[in-house]
Amino acid sequence: MSRTALILQHGDWGPPGVLAEWCAARKIAFEVHHAQSRAPLPELNGQAFVASLGSPHNPDEEHIDQVAAEVAFIGEAVRRDVPVLGLCFGGQMLAKVLGGTIERAPAPELGWHAVETVDPAVVPAGPWLQWHFDAFTLPPGAEQLAVSDAGVQAFAYGRHLGVQFHPESTIEIVRQWAQADRERLQALGIDDGEALLERGRRHAGEARAAAFELFDAFWERAR
């Protein structure tokens, strides 16, 4: 039985970042699977946890083979009670398999945003890096942990945790998304997406510390 964590990465621009740093600091072995590739997903065999990171897709795009495969995989992880940590797309994915819905956010959350949290020791208020255009509803039976004007920001379900923001990401990682989304941002009247990130540069150190707190709380629940 494996006690290695499995991290599902979606594209070269979405590395595990701070999550990988946390795993190393907590001496948790992990492997990264590039879920956008056509390589089959690893077998579920008692992983310490499965983490699903951000993606340019949303979980309802099951006409994309890799998305459909991950929906089935995360659903099976939940059925087997392998702890799932869902971050942005991964949080939407976890919500979906638990019976929540994915919908267009009333307004995209781009850059640094604080959240209203039920328990700052479990989900710190931030500000957190955000970069999403979709949102999810709270799955039936889940415990809502944080919200914002855009919707649910964090929830727990048993040993599983889903969040809408990006605790794993850094300004340097998200800068690439801002560059790739330049036309999309201009349609929203945003001329400089990178400036949204730099405005919160002072939050970077605190965000990393807050991410460690969030991952620690998840790990305590998962064990």
DSSP 98-131: TT--EEEEEEEEEEEE--EES-TTTS----EEEE
Catalytic amino acids?
88, 166, 168
Q: pTM of the prediction?
A: 0.95
Please give the structure tokens belonging to residue 154: 């964090």
Cα–Cα distance for residue pair 186/181, rounded to 1 Å: 9
pLDDT digits (tens, 9 = 90+) for 143-154: 999 999 999 999
Give me the helices (H) in the chain, please.
17-25, 65-79, 89-97, 171-180, 182-187, 193-198, 204-222
pLDDT-above-90 percentage for the chain: 84
**Residue-level pLDDT at 37:** 86
| CATH 3.40.50.880 assigned to 5-222 | yes
Please write the tens of the pLDDT for every residue from 99-156: 999 999 988 999 999 999 999 999 999 999 999 999 999 999 999 999 999 999 999 9
Any idea which residue has 């919200």 for tokens?
A: 147
Q: What value does the mean pLDDT take over residues 200-223?
A: 96
Q: Quote the CA–CA distance of 76 and 61 in Å, as a whole number.
A: 19
Short-list 42, 50, 51, 67, CA closest to 16: 51
Q: Using the predicted structure, report yes or no on whether residue 192 has a pLDDT greater than 90.
A: no
